Amino acid sequence: MSGKPKLYYFDGRGKMESIRWLLAAAGVEFEEEFLETREQYEKLLQGGSLLFQQVPMVEIDGMRMVQTRAILSYIAAKYNLYGKDLKERALIDMYVGGTGDLMGFILMFPFLSAEDKEKQRAFIVQKATSRYFPVYEKVLKDHGQDFLVGNSFSWADVHLLEAILMVEEKKSDVLSGFPQLQAFKARISNIPTIKKFLEPGSQRKPVPDDKYVETVRRVLRMYYDLKAN
Amino acid sequence: MSGKPRLTYLNGRGRMEPIRWLLAAAGVEFEEVYLETKEQYDKLIKDGFLLFQQVPVVEIDGMKMVQTRAILSYIAGKYNLYGKDLKERALIDMYVEGIADLMQMILMFPFSPPEAKEKNLDSIKERATNRYFPVFEKVLKQHGQDFLVGNKFSWADVQLMEAILAVEEKIPAVLAGFPQLQVFKTKMSNMPTIKKFLQPGSPRKPPPDAHYVETVLKVFQK
């Protein structure tokens, strides 16, 4: 065993992408096993490695961790990306809760009907620009520091950058009313570990395509469309 | 100011109920402000009270905390219900997140259309008995301890207790195949802070009724 964390998921973003981002930001190398067939998934299930029969699953430090937020919290704490005390952790938890909700709207996007996709795109942009981005814009403006919490790079910064880039994929000029976030984006993108993750050939996954949707549906036997917000 | 945490939400369970449970289990007294009208809610937003324009919000230790999980994690951390180290915290987090997925189904149930209710009830039963309860039954059986993690009362125990009772309200015999969970439920019920919370007159809220659903739709209408 290599000692590196090992990620079990589809070969695509989904719920695992935030975990890839955080490990990469922390400078932690990781391995991946991609689910491609129903048989692979059933083998994992039968082997008892999926606590609640679901992926993401990450083998790390002798544990088979499941539940995205649990995994992210563990990584954040282990690699000192979780603030210096309970109050900073509370702020980080609130902020990643917000960006998590925003990315949740985008997560379901590929599984919507064509008609619902347009509706959802508008919804995502509206929520990003009226509910979420203004909060982080204000936080950065008010304290004038480089990072969201405690003048120190944290999970909250990684999560916000990920969210910004995802929303920009839906509307490229979405940051036009947010000068602080534009500067934040440039700054965080230049952090060496993040810069590396943003380069071609990294383990960052591309925008979900039809092949990805097909694979998820096939492996999970999830043949219905999700509903837009 | 009283120094007690102050909860702002509707007068009902919803997303605030796990927070009430955890504070009560920790023996922490709290105050509540109930949203009854759209105007009250709009005013909170206008006054900048709600970070993401949403409730729950809990005023605690000088912060206006939002995001249910963030609030619960803070309370658990503050009152030593979060395990003794990172690995115990990881276990607790996995367990409470799994339970939260089950509770989400129950949360949404009152808002599903009448024709979908039977199907949704079946889903809740299926998930509880095939996905979630077996996990905790096995955990308790394997270590033979009273509590889920680290032989010590934690947030995970409170969350599981809340979920068991919530599912039983919908499916009374749901614990029939789970002897460990039956014993767990009895033990939790007898812990002094939980016992108190389960008595009439406590801040525990009743199952959602038509009036609650009506109020939610009215307060949060666009």
- A213 to chain B nearest CA, in Å? 23
pLDDT by residue (tens digit) across B96-111?
999 999 999 999 999 9
pLDDT by residue (tens digit) across B196-210?
999 999 999 999 999
Q: What is the pLDDT of residue A224?
A: 81
Q: Say yes or no: B71 and B109 in one domain.
A: no
Q: What is the pLDDT of residue A2?
A: 61
CATH superfamily of A6-79+198-220: Glutaredoxin (3.40.30.10)
In sign, the C-alpha dihedral spanning B37, B40, B45, B51 is negative
In this prediction the ipTM stands at 0.97
Instruction: Tell me what the mean pLDDT of segment A180-206 comes to.
Output: 98
- A87 to chain B nearest CA, in Å? 8
- Name the closest residue on chain A to residue B79, using Cα atoms: A86
Instruction: Tell me what the mean pLDDT of segment A91-110 comes to.
Output: 97
Separation between Cα atoms, residue A227 and residue A170, nearest integer Å: 18
Q: Say yes or no: B71 and B100 in one domain.
A: no
Report the DSSP beta bridge partners of residue A65: A58
Helix (H, G, I), strand (E, B) or coil at A165: helix
- Name the closest residue on chain B to residue A45, using Cα atoms: B131
Instruction: Tell me what the mean pLDDT of segment A173-182 comes to.
Output: 98
CB contact under 8 A, A74 and B86: yes
Q: What is the pLDDT of residue B2?
A: 61
Task: Say if A39 is an interface residue toward chain B (CB within 8 Å).
Answer: no
B219 domain-assigned: no
Instruction: Tell me what the mean pLDDT of segment B135-145 comes to.
Output: 98
Of B52, B97, B135, the CB nearest to A69: B97
B1 domain-assigned: no
B126 domain-assigned: yes
> Residue B36 maps to which CATH number?
3.40.30.10
Q: Say yes or no: B168 and B136 in one domain.
A: yes
Instruction: Tell me what the mean pLDDT of segment A31-53 comes to.
Output: 97
CATH 3.40.30.10-classified regions of chain A:
6-79+198-220
| The two three-digit tokens of residue A89, written as one number | 């952790």
| The two three-digit tokens of residue B181, written as one number | 């969970």
Asked whether residue A1 carries a pLDDT value surpassing 70, the answer given is no
Substitution target in A50, A59, A94, A133 with the highest count of B β-carbons within 10 Å is A94
CATH 1.20.1050.10-classified regions of chain A:
86-190
Distance of CA A135 to the CA centre of its chain: 19
Helices in B109-191 by DSSP H: which ranges? 117-127, 133-143, 155-170, 179-189
Instruction: Tell me what the mean pLDDT of segment A117-123 comes to.
Output: 95
Nearest to B148 by CA among B186, B171, B181, B122: B181
Q: Say yes or no: B60 and B155 in one domain.
A: no
Task: Say if A70 is an interface residue toward chain B (CB within 8 Å).
Answer: yes
Which of A21-35, A58-72, A214-228, B115-129 has the least mean pLDDT? A214-228
Separation between Cα atoms, residue A2 and residue A225, nearest integer Å: 39
- A34 to chain B nearest CA, in Å? 22
Instruction: Tell me what the mean pLDDT of segment A75-99 comes to.
Output: 98
Separation between Cα atoms, residue B139 and residue B122, nearest integer Å: 25
Of A70, A87, A89, the CB nearest to B90: A70
Contacts of A98 in chain B (CB under 8 A): 51-52, 67
B221 domain-assigned: no
| Cβ-based burial of A170 (10 A; exposed 0-12, middle 13-18, buried ≥19) | middle
CB contact under 8 A, B90 and A53: no
Q: What would the DSSP string read from start to end of A44-100?
A: HHHTT--TTS-S-EEEETTEEEESHHHHHHHHHHHTT-S-SSHHHHHHHHHHHHHHH
Separation between Cα atoms, residue A205 and residue A17, nearest integer Å: 7
CB pairs under 8 A between A and B: 77
Nearest to B66 by CA among B119, B133, B130, B15: B15
Asked whether residue B1 carries a pLDDT value surpassing 80, the answer given is no
> Residue B106 maps to which CATH number?
1.20.1050.10
How do B6-10 and A57-60 pair as beta strands?
unpaired
Q: What is the pLDDT of residue A225?
A: 80
Separation between Cα atoms, residue A78 and residue A92, nearest integer Å: 15
Instruction: Please name the fold of domain A86-190.
Output: Glutathione S-transferase Yfyf (Class Pi); Chain A, domain 2 (1.20.1050)
Asked whether residue A18 carries a pLDDT value surpassing 70, the answer given is yes
pLDDT by residue (tens digit) across B12-54?
999 999 999 999 999 999 999 999 999 999 999 999 999 999 9
Instruction: Tell me what the mean pLDDT of segment B128-138 comes to.
Output: 98
The domain in which residue B45 lies consists of 6-79+198-210
Task: Say if A113 is an interface residue toward chain B (CB within 8 Å).
Answer: no
Instruction: Tell me what the mean pLDDT of segment B148-173 comes to.
Output: 98
Q: What is the pLDDT of residue A228?
A: 81
Q: Say yes or no: B132 and B116 in one domain.
A: yes
- The chain-wide mean pLDDT, for chain A, equals 96
pLDDT by residue (tens digit) across A205-225?
999 999 999 999 999 998 888
Q: What is the pLDDT of residue A226?
A: 81
- A52 to chain B nearest CA, in Å? 6
User: What's the CA angle centered on B147, arms B145 and B152, to 5 degrees?
Assistant: 100
Counted domains in chain B = 2
Of B51, B63, B93, the CB nearest to A70: B93
Of B51, B77, B97, the CB nearest to A86: B77
Of A52, A69, A89, the CB nearest to B135: A52
DSSP at A201: T
- The chain-wide mean pLDDT, for chain B, equals 97
Q: Say yes or no: B40 and B125 in one domain.
A: no
